[in-house]
A = this chain, B = another copy of it.
Amino acid sequence: MAQERPLPSVVERMWGREPVTRRGPRPRLDLATITDAAIEIADAEGLTGVSMAAVASRVGVAATALYRYVDSKEDLLTAMTDGIVPPPPEPEGTPWRDYLALWTRIQRDLLLEHAWLLSVVRLVPPLGPQRLLWFDRALTALEGTGLGPGEKVNVVTSLTGYALTDATLTYGLGVGDPQMESASISGAADYGEMLTGLIDPETYPSLSAVLHEGAMHGAEGWVEDADFVFGLDLLLDGVEALIGRRAR
């Protein structure tokens, strides 16, 4: 048994453990209020709108007062990644494959609805109660498959990564970055067109071939729902094969 180490204070607060204080004026805020305000700003204006000053003024407080609740802006961003996550669907009775497909899709959609998440979530492992609830339910869905604990964790991890990858790609080829506009690229067709104009067929033979076969400007675009399902099935087929091996 290892010795308990003090937890980062954001983590404490994400779990609702505000420090118990007895004397002095009562706190006017708590972490959740601040986090919610920051999320609203991010949804409306993107991550660039989320300054300490903007968040503070939205909750009616001086910018520097936030540092009573958060050690740094980075901590605030961490708290936001948990605050945005809704409860996961419950897996009971659903076959593992159906559940995990749904689980992955909802995560992907959440990332697309709140594109600022893509920039933040990547760098922070799940630490808060909401994201860990998702983690838990995916593991639940894999019970009875015969996979070992490490294997389950690996499978879930791969699916989270897939949601992130797909959302990033869809977003990256889509409307473009917050304000950069990605200089007139919007959509896979534009992207393919751009590449066609840049690459020469001798140095990039296979890419040229694929572009000419129209892989990136079909009627449906490049990364659409069909592509999400395609990649997801690739992964789930792998999982299914593994489960088959373990069940033997």
Contact = CB atoms under 8 A, between A and B. Distances in A.
Interface of A: 2, 4-8, 11, 15, 72, 74, 118-119, 122-125, 127, 132-133, 135-137, 139-140, 143, 148-155, 157-158, 160-162, 164-166, 168-169, 171-173, 177, 180, 182-185, 190-191, 193-195, 197-199, 203-207, 209-210, 213-216, 218, 222-223, 227, 230-231, 233-239, 241-242
Given A152-B215, A231-B157, A207 B122 contact: no
A191 B125 contact: yes
A87 to B, nearest CB: 11
A206 B155 contact: no
B199 A132 contact: yes
Contacts of A132: 195, 198-199, 204, 207
B154 A206 contact: no
Given A2-B193, A15-B198, A168 B215 contact: no
Q: Is the interface of A mostly helix, strand, loop or mixed?
A: helix
Contacts of A241: 237, 241
A222 B161 contact: no
Contacts of A213: 149
A165 B4 CA distance: 30
A171 B161 CA distance: 14
Contacts of A169: 125, 157, 161
Given A119-B119, A215-B152, A197 B4 contact: yes
B136 A206 contact: yes
Contacts of A210: 139, 149, 152-153
A139 B165 CA distance: 19
A153 B234 contact: no
A225 B15 CA distance: 32
Which of A74, A151, A183, A216 has the most B CB atoms < 10 Å from its CB?
Answer: A183
A159 to B, nearest CB: 10
